[in-house]
Amino acid sequence: MTLTVAQGSATGQGTPVAARANQVWKVYGSGEAQVVALREVSVELQRGAFTAIMGPSGSGKSTLMHCLAGLDSVTRGDVHIGQTKVTGMKDKALTKLRRDQVGFIFQQFNLLPTLTAEENITLPLSIAGRKPDKAWFDTVIDTVGLRDRLKHRPTQLSGGQQQRVACARALVARPEVIFADEPTGNLDSKSGAEVLSFLRNSVREFGQTIVMVTHDPVAASYADRVIFLADGSIVSELYEPTADTVLDTMKRLDTGA
């Protein structure tokens, strides 16, 4: 029933792991209203890889991501980020973990309207009381192509630009993992493509680890690996996906289920 994807896969072996879920259960509510959002999910996310999570609505993609990121607690099992065991951490430690080791890109409302793009980008570092590495900052800014927009406020930026700012913010702190929940869900295909290629580049060029939840087979094709969820369980995975292979898998799962 359970598919432990990482084990036995050719590319996975020997690669250091950036985040890992081990037999994770997530149950909401109790009694009749009980919903099992994740059932005994185990997954390892290789460092320096771009992983996409796909699945039908309600399959537990967001839940899995939240559990991996330490935003939500698991009902059973445990989660590690790098060498750190996340499960059981107190709020203070979790906050520090998020601040230092995790980056987030949400579907929308990623930015504080009171801060400029630049201030938004360096916000996690400022909160942690760290100075951004100038060279790295410049690299990131140039990669996202926002240099002439740094002094602008979010309301003065387009949706695509805002998402790029969010990406830059996640990258600048050089976290262990970046989690992105449908980062292109609100964007048109052109802006979406920009953001996605930017994410892929940061994996290729800077060795960043990224986990992305998406519904879009095209978006998933930018990833190195796609994990398919259904009903709270991992049901399939693909390496080096293309939009077509993703679509095929989805169809297959759809009819198979």
Partner 1 sequence: MLRATLKSVLSRKLRLVLSGLAVVLGVMFVSGAFVLTDTLGRSFDGLFATAFQNTDVTVSVKSTGPAQGFDDDQKLTATVKPETLEKVRGIDGVAKATGIVSADGARVIGSNGKVITSFGPPRLGENWTGENDLVKLREGRAPQSGTEVVMNAGLAKSAGVKVGDQVGVLTTQPKKTFTLVGITEYSGGRDSLGGSMVVSFHESVAAELMLGTPNVYSSVDVKAAAGKTPEQVRDSVRAALGDSFEVKTGAELQKAQTAGAKEALGFFNKILLGFAGVALFVGTFLILNTFSIIVAQRTRELALMRAIGASRKQMIGSVLVEAVLIGLFASAVGLGLGIGVGSLLAWVFGNVGSASLELAGIGVPPAAIISAFSVGMIITLVAALLPAMRASRIPPVAALQEAATPDRPLTKVTVVGSLVTAGGATLLLLGLNDKLGDSSLYGFFGGVLLAFIGIALLTPMLARPIVGVIGRLMAWSVPGKLGRLNSARNPRRTAITAAALMVGIALITGVNTVFTSAEASIQKIADKEVNADLIISGDPSDERPATFDPAVIDKTKAISGVTGFSADYFDVAHALGEDRSVTIMTDVPAYAKMFKLTAKEGEIRALGPDEVLYDEERAKEKGLHVGATIEVQLARGQPRQMKLVGIYAKSSTTGGLILPTTLIGELQVAQPSWGYVDVADGVSVDGVRKQVDALLADSPEVTVANRNDFVQQQTSAFDTVLLMVQILLALAVLIAVLGIINTLALSVLERTRELGLLRAIGLGRFQSMRMITVEAIVISVFGALLGVVVGSGLGAAIVRALKDDGFSTFAMPWTAMGTYLALGAGIGVIAAILPALRAARVNVLQAISYE
Ligand X SMILES: Nc1ncnc2c1ncn2[C@@H]1O[C@H](COP(=O)(O)OP(=O)(O)OP(=O)(O)O)[C@@H](O)[C@H]1O
Footprint of ligand X (CB under 6 A): 28-29, 35, 37, 55, 57-63
Q: Is residue 137 at the binding interface for partner 1, with CB under 8 A as the rule?
A: no
Q: Is residue 126 at the binding interface for partner 1, with CB under 8 A as the rule?
A: yes
Going through the chain in order, the beta strands assigned E by DSSP cover: 17-28, 35-46, 50-54, 76-81, 84-85, 102-105, 177-181, 210-213, 225-230, 233-239
For residue 11, the partner it binds in Mg ion, ligand X, partner 1, none, with Cβ less than 5 to 8 A by kind, is none
Closer by beta carbon to partner 1, 9 or else 108: 108
- Tokens representing residue 159 in the block: 């949706």
Which of 124, 160, 183, 241 touches partner 1 (CB under 8 A)? Answer: 124
- Tokens representing residue 36 in the block: 């099992």
Contact 48, 201 (CB under 8 A): no
Window 45-84: contact mask with Mg ion (x via CB under 5 A): -----------------x----------------------
For residues 136 and 183, what is the distance between their CA atoms, to the nearest angstrom? Answer: 23
For residue 57, the partner it binds in partner 1, ligand X, Mg ion, none, with Cβ less than 5 to 8 A by kind, is ligand X
Classify residue 16 by its DSSP letter: P
Closer by beta carbon to ligand X, 57 or else 255: 57
3-state secondary structure of 63: helix
Q: Is residue 99 at the binding interface for partner 1, with CB under 8 A as the rule?
A: yes
Which of 96, 131, 147, 204 touches partner 1 (CB under 8 A)? Answer: 96
Q: Is residue 95 at the binding interface for partner 1, with CB under 8 A as the rule?
A: yes
For residues 248 and 4, what is the distance between their CA atoms, to the nearest angstrom? Answer: 22
3-state secondary structure of 175: coil
Residues in the chain: 257
Chain positions contacting partner 1, by CB under 8 A: 62, 66, 71-72, 91-92, 95-96, 98-100, 103-104, 106, 109-110, 112-115, 123-124, 126-129, 155, 169
